Structure 1
Amino acid sequence: MTDAHAIAGVPMKWVGPLRISGNVATTETHVPLATYESPLWPSVGRGAKVSMLAPDGIVATLVDERMTRSVLVEARDAQTAYAAAQNIHARTEELREVVRGCSRFAELIGIRHEITANLLFVRFEFSTGDASGHNMATLASDALLGHLLETVPGISYGSISGNYCTDKKATAINGILGRGKNVVTELLVPREVVTDVLHTTAAKVAELNIRKNLLGTLLAGGIRSANAHFANMLLGFYLATGQDAANIVEGSQGITMAEDRDGDLYFSCTLPNLIVGSVGNGKGLGFVETNLTRLGCRAERETGANARRLAVIAAATVLCGELSLLAAQTNPGELMQAHVRLERDHKTAKVGA
């Protein structure tokens, strides 16, 4: 018999601590990662160790935050769609009041549009407090759409979601305009730490980043993305903290930078689409509440501050895993040896030898 309320158990460990500073939080914290890929724990742990040995740790800068939903309306022709778009933009303050009437925490902060043939796509951008904001943005957009259909001439219903948002899909627009939290993380690793902990050099990491992450991704046709494995850390962090795991699709779009600065390694990860929330759906499970509390993301703070803290911790976790993997890949055989040692049991290894 199937239990509709069964909980899938994914192995979870806390790794760290890692050191973070920046415009949101200054903290040292362990981080939880739920994953079946067991080498991820020691890999992120090595990056965390590096952060503790760097003078400023990981400097995390939150650049922007917004949740989006796009609605689709149909007009008689492109000219009518254009007139409707101008009408909508001219009434931004009125539309803000519509949003305030249906939510305590949602605030309309931007409107963008795109016209194709006689179709008008309208992308609404909201601040959503401590929630990731999917449902909040949809609820507000539904109210906005109803209001527009009643008050803007020449348009009719198309869809509550027109894929111009864009939710859980890898697109250029999210990388350009942002969806969720836009966080930049930076770490300056002293030469001796690069050598002793990462077993490589700044020059090797910088060269590999160009060849693998930048050129390799370009050849593969990546969409505004150049990184080794952001998705691994994001999935582990998302599952451990009650996030909508499908958001790693756009969340793993991001860019890794590495520079050799006279033997020291400058390393940076930019995540423009980091969708996290400290409240909302998925947070009611006991282990999630425990994890968020331990991360300091359930404290009494101004609205939105806990979600911002969670975002910079997630972004710093991504940097730790990204740095460790790239360092390993500068050395022949290191990555595979780690997987064999950590993932294959002795019996399987013996049979396959």
Structure 2
Amino acid sequence: MKAHKISSAPVPMRWVGPIAISGNVLTDSLSVPLATYESPLWHSVGRGARVSRLCEGGIKTTLIDERMTRSILLEAADAGVALNAWQRLQGLRDEMQAVVSQSSRFAKLIDLHHQIVGNLLYIRLEFTTGDASGHNMVTNAADHLMRWFMETFPELSYGSISGNYCSDKKATAVNGILGRGKNVVAEILIPRDICERRLLTTPEKVVDLNIKKNLLGTLMAGGIRSANAHYANMLLAFYMSTGQDAANIVEGSQGVTHAEVREGNLYFSCTLPNLIVGTVGNGKGLDFVEDNLQQLGCREEREPGANARRLAAICATVVLCGELSLLAAQTNPGELMQAHIQLERG
């Protein structure tokens, strides 16, 4: 069979910003790379970035948690056997970590959850993975653990190395509740005059639209642990320019936009419990990716995991910039479509 030539045609990329950022991971002002065919996105994120520089503290980011997951599927004779095995597992955490250490020097087992369906035992294994996003690392650790489980509990047999309770690249309630990747909250407090002059709207209009569109509209659509306008747009553009697995925008775009009027000003936040990003691993060896990570300050000598946490916090600010700009535009009849016509059709 004839091999197909790999195309070198790039996705259009621009640097946008700078964005003013503060929080428990970094305090900085920096521009961000966004690779997209949707050219208005550069301008939308750019408008949010300009607003960030006019607000005290810019966009505040708080990293709440981090974990990468892989769920395994084991089979037993019946539910009672499965439950007994699970209960006995609880006292063997140290032994399990010793097995994990044989697979990687960075993977650390931090928690596990389970579901029993009939005679099937699903175990959701949760790890920290240093600066890697961790897909392969946790699968390798799970593979080691699975063999150890079946040796330690011969009443259990192999079902699958991935039982979908992870849940990888699927929109699920479990990820929204327990998290997968980096859990980051991005917040900004925008004075009323800046909201009116720069976003051409009012705090009251943004809050009202967020309720009616993001909350109620998503409820009517049957959304899963999610209430936002377009997180996926910013995530894909940022993921493509920093060497991430783009398919992870499926769970990454699960998040909640929240807005309030505070003493006449606009409080605006984006909560993203499933940001799956890394600064080492597959996809990071390309020259343009290395250059982008370097410019973002994510190639420094830091403790394991610190560069990836920095990248996640930056990513969350990008999402907030684009989300804020779009919601503001949609409070005004015709503004969104006019912007697309001008920017995409020239």
Q: Match of 1:16? A: 17
Q: CA deviation at 1:2?
A: 6.0
What is the Cα deviation at residue 171 of structure 1? 0.1
1:262 shift after superposition: 2.6
Residue type of the partner of 1:15? V
2:297 equivalent in structure 1: 296
Alignment of 1:36-115 (within 5 A): 36-115=37-116
Q: Which residue does the alignment assign to 2:183?
A: 182
Q: Could you tell me how far 1:3 is from its partner in structure 2?
A: 4.5
One-letter identity of the residue aligned with 2:93:
T
What residue identity is the alignment partner of 1:334? E
Asked if 2 retains the 8 angstrom alpha-carbon contact of 1:230 and 1:322, the reply is: yes
Give the TM-score of the pair, scaled to structure 2: 0.98
Structure 2 unmatched ranges of 5 or more? none
Paired residue secondary structure (2:300): coil
Q: How does 1:1-353 map to 2 (within 5 A)?
A: 3-345=4-346
Give a deviation string over 1:297-325, Cα, whole Å, max 9, x none. 00111110000000000000000000000
Which AA in structure 2 matches 1:197? R
Match of 1:85, SS state, is helix
Deviations 1:254-281 (A, max 9, x none): 0000111132100000000000000100
In the alignment, the residues of structure 2 paired with residue 237 and residue 3 of structure 1 have an alpha-carbon distance, to the nearest angstrom, of: 28
Q: How many residues align?
A: 345
Q: Displacement, 1:111?
A: 1.1
State the Cα deviation string for residues 14-38 of structure 1 (Å, max 9, x = none): 0000011000000100000000000
Local SS of the residue matching 2:206 = helix
Cα separation, 1, equivalents of 2:218 and 2:117:
30
Alignment RMSD, CA only? 0.9
Q: Which runs of 5+ in 1 are unaligned?
A: 346-353
Equivalent AA in structure 1 for residue 100 of structure 2: V
Q: Which amino acid aligns with 1:16?
A: G
Cα separation, 2, equivalents of 1:150 and 1:5: 44
What code does the residue aligned with 1:38 have? S
Q: Partners of 1:3 and 1:277 in 2: how far apart?
A: 29
Q: Give the whole-Å Cα distance in 1 for the aligned partners of 2:43 and 2:73.
A: 46
Superposed displacement of residue 101, structure 1: 1.2
Partner Cα separation in structure 2 for residue 36 and residue 122 of structure 1: 40
- Per-residue Cα deviation, 1:282-307 (whole angstroms, up to 9, x for no partner): 00000000000000000111110000
Report percent identity of matched pairs.
68
1:127-155 deviation digits (Å, cap 9, x = unpaired): 00000000000000000001101111311
The alpha-carbon deviation at position 87 of structure 1 amounts to 1.7
Equivalent position of 1:350 in the other structure? none
Q: Secondary structure at the match of 1:76?
A: coil
Q: Distance in 1 between matches of 2:145 and 2:30?
A: 41
Amino acid at match of 1:125: E
Q: For 2:278 and 2:73, how far apart are their aligned partners in 1? A: 27
SS class of match (1:16):
strand
The TM-score, its normalising length taken from structure 1, stands at 0.96
Distance 2:27 2:4 in 1: 43
CA distance in structure 1 between the aligned counterparts of 2:51 and 2:90, rounded to whole angstroms:
48
Residues 88-147 of structure 1, C-alpha deviation per residue, up to 9 Å, x if partnerless? 222111000000111011011111111010000001000000000000000000000011
Secondary structure of residue in 2 paired with 1:173? helix
Task: Say whether the 8 Å CA contact 1:201–1:263 is kept in structure 2.
Answer: no
- One-letter amino acid matched to 1:158: G
The one-letter amino acid paired with 2:274 is N
Give the whole-Å Cα distance in 1 for the aligned partners of 2:175 and 2:9: 31
In the aligned structure 1, how far is the partner of 2:5 from the partner of 2:295? 29
